[in-house]
Amino acid sequence: MHRFLSAPVAVCHSIEATRLIEATAMADLPPRALMQRAGQSLARFALAVAPHARTIWIACGPGNNGGDGMEAAIHLRRLHPNVVVTWFGDMRQLPSEAKQALEAAMEAGVTFAIQPPDSLRPGDLCIDALLGIGANRAPKGKMNEWLQLMRSAPSDLISVDVPSGLDAESGVLLPNMGFGETTMMAGILLPGALPDITRSVKHPQQRRYTLTFLSGKPGLLTGEGIDLAGEIWLDPLGAETWVRAVQPEWTVNRSKPKRVVDHHAHKGARGDVVIVGGAGDAQKDHSMAGACTLAGAAALHGGAGRVYMHLLDARAPRNNPLQPELMYRSIRDLDLQKVTAVCGCGGGDAVGTLIPDLFTDCKQLVLDADALNVVATDAALRTLLQYRAQMGWQTVMTPHPLEAARLLGRKDAAEVQANRLQAVRELVDVFECVVVLKGSGTLIAGPGMPCHINVTGNSRLATAGTGDVLAGFIGALMAQGMPAFEAACAAVRRHGEVADEWPTATQLTALDVAHRL
């Protein structure tokens, strides 16, 4: 057992792959052995996490996840005076291994309560063994009440395998089905699906852990999974050989920026970046030039030798005393073959007029914000992107979920969030370039590349302009010679890391992020 994200290499398997690993491991082991190992591991983990708990409440569900909880109860009962087990299930419908675990628990004298413990205090422990990777709809009724109680209690919480009700593949909480009990999987929203309106608020004193078995699960690392999972531990249950035999689909992003370090390097050798955007509307007295300044500052602090600014807003000053290193120049006066262009930051519709030239002339391109919105509405640009791919020119797109929805022709951001992993792959297929799908658990994918999940960063990045900073940073790394996919991965990781390192009591602004890259 180890802390999942502390391992030198951390990978995630799809749920289908995990099922395959489970089946092949079980075929080689005596019946119930894997579940017994899971129970033992869980009991050990529980005592390590909450050694002074007065009460340990294990809530067991109707499938094998509940079986893990019962196996753990058998051990914990021997070692702890107050273990309360509640069980939500039907003996006749229990899978055979979970049934054996239930019978063994009864034989061992585990007592089953009808209700959860009366009071849950700080230091006590709740164990959520209600649903695992077999969850196919939102928990309702009593099961939902128990979950809300556990998630809002001041006590510590261990989710067994995955937090119950979370789609372990996509990282979304499974929605309530409005009409009847239609099943759904892998975040595919079926007609009639209602959002879960009963999300509980985490108690500030609660420490959350997930002890996951056999394989890393992508849904723990993106979307709503990160908050629900807490600190993730992985126990392969002795099935490492079978785990290694199955190809993982996702790799935890560990990439680091590579910058020019030669002693004799001059500014021309460190790469040129041009930031294109910053539209204005004189009639409305609007200007988005600041978005370009942020991207430009990020490109400078990200190591680019020279950073040019092509501002669309004719009224915006061509000088910024806060960042005097930025040079204001039209793209017409630059050799676009030799610069990396970061296009779209605060670009408005006006950026559309420059895009065709940038697409045909510029070998290294980062598309953000309004540049993405232009691409979403113009099929000819899609063809140009495919042409770029054939030429071996490098393009990175950095959509947030709403921009991704526009690019994919989806109704809204929620449709993308419902299955971020699928969305990012689809974007790569359609646009044949590197795609960074931003948000909690940013995803990075590219043609023929292993998909990466980023685990740095936090909601302090949810402030205007941090996306511009990321785009400028990616451009700077590409300008310094990193291939597009590596540059995107490295920039996303470091950008998030800045937010993780920032002192908790101080507000983080986008410019702060740029200055610390």
Q: How far apart are CA 370 and CA 7, in angstroms?
A: 38
Tell the smallest beta-carbon distance from residue 408 to ligand NPW (Å): 28
Q: Which is nearer to ligand NPW, 97 or 468 (CB)?
A: 97
Q: Could you tell me how far CA 263 lies from the centroid of its own chain? A: 38
Residue 160 is a binding residue for K ion (CB under 5 A): yes
Contacts of 43 (CB under 8 A, 6+ apart): 72, 75, 76, 79
Nearest residue to 299 (alpha-carbon basis) of 129, 159, 154, 469: 469
Is residue 68 a contact point for K ion (CB under 5 A)?
no
123 is in an annotated binding site: no
How many residues belong to the chain? 517
Considering the complex, state which of residue 143 and residue 291 has its C-beta at the smaller distance from ligand NPW. 143
In the complex, least distance from residue 400 CB atom to ligand ADP, rounded to whole angstroms: 4
Which residue number, 10 or 34, has a Cβ lying nearer to ligand ADP?
A: 10
Distance of alpha carbon 494 from alpha carbon 516, whole angstroms: 9
Residue 136 among known ligand-binding residues = yes
- 222 makes contact, choosing from ligand ADP, K ion, ligand NPW, none, with CB < 5 to 8 Å by partner type, with none
Report the alpha-carbon distance of residue 126 to residue 55 in Å, rounded. 8
Distance of CA 152 to the CA centre of its chain: 23
Identify which of residues 305 and 465 has a Cβ nearer to ligand ADP in the complex: 465
In angstroms, give the least distance from the CB of 296 to K ion. Answer: 47
Those residues with Cβ within 8 angstroms of residue 487's Cβ, 6 or more apart along the chain or in another chain: 257, 396, 474, 477, 478
> How near is the Cβ of 454 to ligand ADP at its closest, in Å?
8
**Which residue, 63 or 475, is less far from ligand NPW as judged by CB?**
63
The site map against K ion for 164-203 (x = CB under 5 A) is x---------------------------------------
Question: Is-contact 5 455, C-beta < 8 A?
Answer: yes
Q: How far apart are CA 433 and CA 350, in angstroms?
A: 23
**13 labeled binding residue:** no
Establish whether 458 is an annotated binding residue: no
Residue given tokens 């009962």 in the structure block: 77
Binding site for ligand NPW (CB under 6 A): 22, 26, 34-35, 38, 61-66, 68, 95, 97, 131-139, 143, 160-161, 213-214
Q: 143 contacts which partner out of ligand ADP, ligand NPW, K ion, none, CB within 5 to 8 A by kind?
A: ligand NPW
Any known ligand binding at 137?
yes
- Report whether 515 contacts 301 (CB < 8 A): yes
- 164 annotated among ligand-binding-site residues: yes
Q: How far is the CB of 182 from ligand NPW (least distance, A)?
A: 11
**Residue 135, marked binder:** yes
Smaller CB distance to ligand ADP: residue 281 or 361? 281
Contacts 24+ apart (CB under 8 A), 501-507: 502/460, 507/460
CB of 461 to ligand ADP, least distance (A): 3
Residue 468 contact among ligand ADP, K ion, ligand NPW, none, beta carbon within 5 to 8 Å by kind: ligand ADP
Q: Is 280 marked as a binding-site residue?
A: no
Count the neighbouring beta carbons within 10 Å of the beta carbon of residue 198: 14
How far apart (Å, rounded) are the C-alpha atoms in residues 72 and 78? 10
If the CB atoms of residues 134 and 450 are measured against ligand NPW, the closer one turns out to be: 134
Q: What's the CA gap between 456 and 77, in Å, rounded?
A: 38
Q: What are the beta bridge partners of residue 452?
A: 251, 444
CA proximity to 129, closest of 91, 98, 93 = 98
CB of 468 within 8 A of CB of 368?
yes
108 binds, among K ion, ligand NPW, ligand ADP, none (CB under 5 to 8 A by kind): none
- List CB contacts of 428: < 8 A, sequence separation 6 or more: 434, 435, 445, 446, 447
Residue 128 binds: one of K ion, ligand ADP, ligand NPW, none (C-beta under 5 to 8 A by kind):
K ion
Please pick, from the candidates 22, 71, 128, 426, the single residue that binds K ion as defined by CB under 5 A.
128
Residue 400 partner contact from K ion, ligand ADP, ligand NPW, none using kind-dependent CB cut-offs of 5 to 8 Å: ligand ADP
Q: Which is nearer to ligand NPW, 135 or 234 (CB)?
A: 135
Tell the smallest beta-carbon distance from residue 97 to ligand NPW (Å). 5
Phi and psi at 412, nearest 5°, equal -155, 180
How many beta carbons lie within 10 A of that of residue 368, not counting itself?
31
> What 8-state DSSP symbol labels residue 274?
E
Q: Which helix (H) or strand (E) holds 56?
A: strand 56-60
> Residue 181 has what DSSP assignment?
-
- Residue 512, annotated as binding a ligand: no
Residue nearer to ligand ADP on the CB measure, 67 or 467: 467
Please provide the DSSP assignment of 262-276 as one string. Answer: -TT--GGGG-EEEEE
- At residue 90, what is the residue type? D
- C-beta of 361 vs 497, nearer to ligand ADP: 497
347: partner contacted, choices ligand NPW, K ion, ligand ADP, none (Cβ within 5-8 A by kind): none
Residues that bind K ion (CB under 5 A): 65, 128, 159-160, 164
Q: Annotated binding site: which residue ranges?
A: 64-68, 128, 132-138, 161, 164, 291, 346, 400, 438-442, 467-468
Q: Annotated binding site for (6S)-NADPHX: which residue ranges?
A: 64-68, 132-138, 161, 291, 346, 400, 468
Q: Annotated binding site for K(+): which residue ranges?
A: 65, 128, 164
